[in-house]
Amino acid sequence: MRKLRRFLILSPEERRLTIEALLLPPGISASFRLFGVPRTQAWIRGWAVSGKNLSAPVDHDSLITVARRSQGRAKRATGVLGPCLVRSLTLWAMLLRRGVETDLRIGFRKRDGKIEGHAWLEYHRQPINEAESEVSTYSIYDRPVRFDLWLRQKDRKPAL
């Protein structure tokens, strides 16, 4: 009951963000398994762009903070939020839907003889959902990850 009361005192935008933070991760995870990453990315972009700028203009830095808090609320409510790629794509979609363009970054490192990968978002080249100290331990792919490559490749005609 206490969680419901806390949810109801949030602003309407914070409630929407919290609901998105609860619903997107399971959808993204299932879509990864069923359709693969490129198609999932295309689906997420379509969803985000369809509602782009529905909310009133707001300071991007404060919106990023509110969206991250919403993800934290969702994690506390469910106990899970998914792997780093799912968390990052969820936040990316929530922000894009409100007109905030961010870059998905992928990094790799070798630890104990194993290669590890990690995903996070950057806004103006600053990590927003991961600590700078953590990000610095990864070798970062030199460019932001391009979304919707599957759509672009699908539309290409074979060379004759």
Beta bridge partners, 120, equal: 105
54 pLDDT band, cuts 50/70/90, is: low
* pLDDT at residue 95, as a whole number: 94
Residue 123, classified by CB atoms within 10 Å of its CB into exposed (0-12), middle (13-18) or buried (19+), is: middle
143 pLDDT band, cuts 50/70/90, is: low
Q: How far apart are CA 79 and CA 85, in angstroms?
A: 17
pTM of the prediction?
Answer: 0.82
* pLDDT at residue 146, as a whole number: 61
79 pLDDT band, cuts 50/70/90, is: confident
Q: How many other β-carbons are positioned within 10 Å of the β-carbon of residue 152? A: 12
Q: Do 71 and 21 touch, CB atoms closer than 8 A? A: yes
* pLDDT at residue 73, as a whole number: 87
4 pLDDT band, cuts 50/70/90, is: confident
